[in-house]
Structure 1
C-alpha cells in the first residue's frame, strides 16, 4: 500500500507542477505577445478536476479530510468501532456505486458519443476517467480501513500513528 501512496503523491505533485506551468504560460502569453494561448484555460480546468478527485482519494487514505468527531469521541469503544465500520462502509458504497459504476458509464458514454474538448480536442472520456479511478482508490483504501478496524487496530493513519480520538478509551 505504501507504493500506491507514493505513486499518488508523485502524481498529485506532478499535476500541480504542470498546472502551475500551464497558468504561468497563460499569463505570459496574455500579456507579453498580446496573443493569449487558446488551450491553457481548458487544460488548467481539467488538471484541477484531476487534482481535486485524486486529492480526495489521497485525503481519504491519509484521513486528512474534514470530520466531525464530537459524537463519536464520547462513545464507548465498542460503539465507536460500530460507528467507524458504518462510516467506512457508507463511503465505500458511495464510491463503488457513484464514482466507479456511474463513472465508468459516463466515460463509456462520452467515448461512444465521441465528445471532445473544445480547445484541446481530446476525448472527454480521458478527462472523466479520473472519476472511476479515484472511486476505485477510495474503495481500496476503504477495504484497508475496514480490515484495520475489524482487526482491532482502530483506523490507523498510513504513517502508523493511531489518532487519539480513534484510540480505545482507557479506564
Structure 2
C-alpha cells in the first residue's frame, strides 16, 4: 500500500508541476498587461481599454488555479497546534477527514460553478464582447483541480507508511522547525 501512496504523491506533484507553469504564465501575462495599462494611461495616450478587464480575469484564473498547488504542498490552513500533538493514528484519520471535507467543499464549488459558468454564456463582457462564461470557467476548472489534488493527497495520507506530521504547513517549513 505504500506503493500506492508514493504513486499518488508522484502524480500529485506531476499535476502540480503543470499547474505551477500555467500560473507563472498567467502571472507573466498579467504583469505585462498591467504595465501596458499604466503605460497607455500615463505615458503614451493610446485608447487601449482592454487592459483592466484582462488583468481582472487573469488574476482570478491565476489565484483560483494556485489553490490546487497549495493543496499539493499542504500549505492550506490547518490547526497545527492541535494536530501536531496528537498520536500518529489519530493524525492519519484527521488528515484524511480534512481531505474529505475539503473535497466535498470543492466538489460543491465545481458543481455549482458549472451552472454559474453556463449562465455566464448568456452575458457578455463589457470590453471584449465575449460571453462571460469563458472567464467564469475558471471557477469549476480550479475546483476540479483542487478535487483531483485532494483525492491524491487523501490517498497518500491514508496509505502512507507514516502518518502526516503536520497539516497546513509545508514539509520544508517543518524541516526548518526541526533543525532550529
Q: For 1:139, what is the secondary structure of its paired residue?
A: helix
Shift of 1:106: 0.6
The equivalent residue for 1:22 is 33
Q: For 1:64, what is the secondary structure of its paired residue?
A: coil
Shift of 1:35: 3.6
The equivalent residue for 1:140 is 148
Q: Does 1:127 align with 2:138?
A: no
Cα RMSD of the aligned pairs, angstroms, is 2.2
The equivalent residue for 2:118 is 108
Gaps in structure 1 of 5+ consecutive residues: 166-171
Instruction: Give TM-score, length-normalised by structure 1.
Output: 0.84
Q: Number of aligned pairs?
A: 159
The equivalent residue for 1:95 is 106
Is the contact made by 2:88 and 2:164 (CA closer than 8 Å) also made in structure 1?
Answer: no
Cα distance in 1 between the residues matched to 2:117 and 2:141: 11
Is the contact made by 2:92 and 2:164 (CA closer than 8 Å) also made in structure 1?
Answer: no
Q: For 2:22, what is the secondary structure of its paired residue?
A: helix
1:43-100 CA-partner distances (Å, limit 9, x unpaired): 1011110011001111111212333311111111111112111111000000001x21
Higher helix share: 2
Q: For 1:70, what is the secondary structure of its paired residue?
A: helix
Cα distance in 1 between the residues matched to 2:18 and 2:74: 17
Instruction: Give TM-score, length-normalised by structure 2.
Output: 0.80
Moved more, 17-26 or 54-63: 54-63
Q: Does 1:12 align with 2:20?
A: no
